[in-house]
Structure 1
Amino acid sequence: GAVICIQMQLNMTSPMMPAYSTGLATRDILLLEFSSAVLCLILSGKVGSNIASEIGTMRVTEQIDALEIMGINSAQFLVLPKILAFMFFIPVLVVFSIATGLFGGWFIAAFTDMIPVSRYIYGIQTMFVEWYVWYTIIKALVFSVIITSVASYYGYYVKGGALDVGKASTNAVVASSILILLFDVILTKLLMQ
């Protein structure tokens, strides 16, 4: 949020732009893209690799085979709780990301002379569209399913040893990142008509 505020203020030099444009642009960038897509790209690297390596290690050490021998549906037992937990927690992370981003912009307005705080706050409040908040949460929910299911798939079907678990973890991160970018375009087209 701080960097967005600085960039917007430095690059909006036209006298035709209203004084509150920096706050408005900071808010809309955070709501429309940054707090869902960029956050989930970062989380796909951290959470996705952890899930893939955890489940992959269980596959390599034959723990999943032991579950199946005991008559437990291993995919449901291992994958479903991860998907549901991430889906429940991702809205919290998105709202936290929005709040800290807006606070970062306020911090720049308050502690530098780039933009007055009153203009920044007025820009945040101006022409607020509630749908943007729901839009970013819907996108993040879809991205959370992509991150956990792709990582679980790569971990669940790993074959070999520890080296293959590392490869599966890397492949899960790459595949989920590409799918997040693809679904970002699709969801933007579907939800922002």
Structure 2
Amino acid sequence: MTLALLPFIALGRFILSGIKQAGSVALFGLKALMGLIRPPFYFGTFARTLVEIGFLSLPVVALTAIFAGAVIALQSYTGFRQYHAQNAIASIVVLSITRELGPVLAGLMVAGRVGAALSAQIGTMRVTNQIDALSTLSTNPIKYLVTPRLLAATLALPVLVLIADILGIFGGFTVSVVKLGLEPETYINATMTAIKSSDVFIGLVKAATFGFLIALLGCYHGYKSRGGAEGVGSAATATVVSTSILLLLFDYILTDLFFTI
């Protein structure tokens, strides 16, 4: 074996490892989805996770959306005033928030807050043998721990994103009227003209996809964690990193699918 082949060997092993990991995650998700069509369904776990993801994530998502809309308005004004096109600020804020920043920022915030928490919870159960205890009690651990969390995250993210869209537009409106001196009626009319139900709907589709990915990867890394407290910490870190990357990847894929047809 020559030294010239070593980089290609390393690249091949990396690609094969990535394919194996992707297949493992896909099979894990398929097992969890099968739990939706086979009774019983653990409604208590679903309800607790829905509150944790939806209600408790609302403050951080709301603040992020408001300031995102405000910053977009400021940056748009800086460019548009050179061409006396300040009235286009409302359109830019609406399109940016509903199509991209609402789903993406909400997804990243929830990934950092909830994804790591899910991984740590299930990882702690794994290293303390609680998952093995569930199997001993004839309870399917994936169906009990993963399936309700997948459904809760998939349903909660679109609601959070819808709220983020409203607050992001409100943030842009507030800055445009109070700081930039635009007429409120003119801004509102421009907003109502620019907003489209299709943009909002596609943003919600993105949000549901992101919610599924966050719960899937959080549960997967926690379920597969080993090595005590250090393993749980590594699983939480891997969840945040992998989820953030996949959210951006799927955001590009969905944007290319819906907006370039």
Q: TM-score, normalised by structure 1?
A: 0.95
Segment of structure 1 superposing worse, 1-10 or 165-174: 1-10
Of 84-93 and 109-118, more deviation after overlay is shown by 109-118
SS in 1 for 2:81: coil
1:3 lines up with 2:71 in the alignment: yes
Identify the match of residue 67 of structure 1 among 131, 134, 140: 134
How much does 1:14 deviate?
Answer: 3.7
Q: Which residue identity lines up with residue 34 of structure 1 in the other structure?
A: L
Match of 2:156 among 89, 92, 95: 89
Q: 1:137 aligns with which of 204, 207, 218?
A: 204
- Give the CA deviation at 1:168: 0.5
Amino acid at match of 2:80: M
Residue 135 of structure 1 deviates from its aligned partner by 0.3
Matched letter for residue 94 of structure 1:
V
Partner of 1:172: 239
Q: Which stretch of structure 1 is more off in the superposition, 89-98 or 119-128?
A: 119-128
**What TM-score, normalized by structure 2, do the two folds share?**
0.71
Whether 1:78 and 2:141 are equivalent positions in the alignment is: no
- Residues 9 and 115, structure 1, Cα contact 8 Å, conserved in 2: no
**Cα root mean square deviation, aligned:** 1.3
Contact 1:23–1:123 (CA under 8 A) maintained in structure 2: yes
Does residue 203 of structure 2 align to residue 149 of structure 1? Answer: no
- Quote the offset at 1:43 in angstroms: 1.0
| Contact 1:23–1:119 (8 Å) recurs in 2 | no
Change (3 A) 1:148 1:163: same
The reply to whether residue 46 of structure 1 matches residue 113 of structure 2 is: yes
CA radius of gyration, larger in: 2
Work out the number of aligned pairs and report it: 192
Give the stretch that moved more between structures: 91-100 or 6-15. Answer: 6-15
User: Relative contact order: is structure 1 or structure 2 higher (C-alpha 8 Å, sep ≥ 6)?
Assistant: 1
Q: Which runs of 5+ in 1 are unaligned?
A: none
Q: Provide the rounded CA distance (Å) in 2 between the counterparts of 1:51 and 1:154.
A: 9
Letter in 2 for 1:138: V
Give SS of 1:52's match: helix
Alpha-carbon separation, structure 2, partners of 1:116 and 1:109: 8
**C-alpha separation between the residues in 1 aligned to 2:132 and 2:155?**
29
Does the CA-based 8 Å contact 1:20-1:122 persist in structure 2?
A: no
By percentage of residues, which structure has more helix?
Answer: 2
Give the aligned partner of residue 188 of structure 1.
255
| d(CA) in 2 for partners of 1:172, 1:127 | 37
Query: Which residue matches 1:26?
Result: 93
**What corresponds to 2:34 in structure 1?**
none
CA distance in 1, matches of 2:180, 2:158: 34
Q: How far is 1:38 from its partner?
A: 1.6
Q: Is the 8 A contact 2:95 2:194 kept in 1?
A: no
Classify 1:175/1:164 alpha carbon distance in 2 versus 1 (closer, same or farther; 3 Å): same
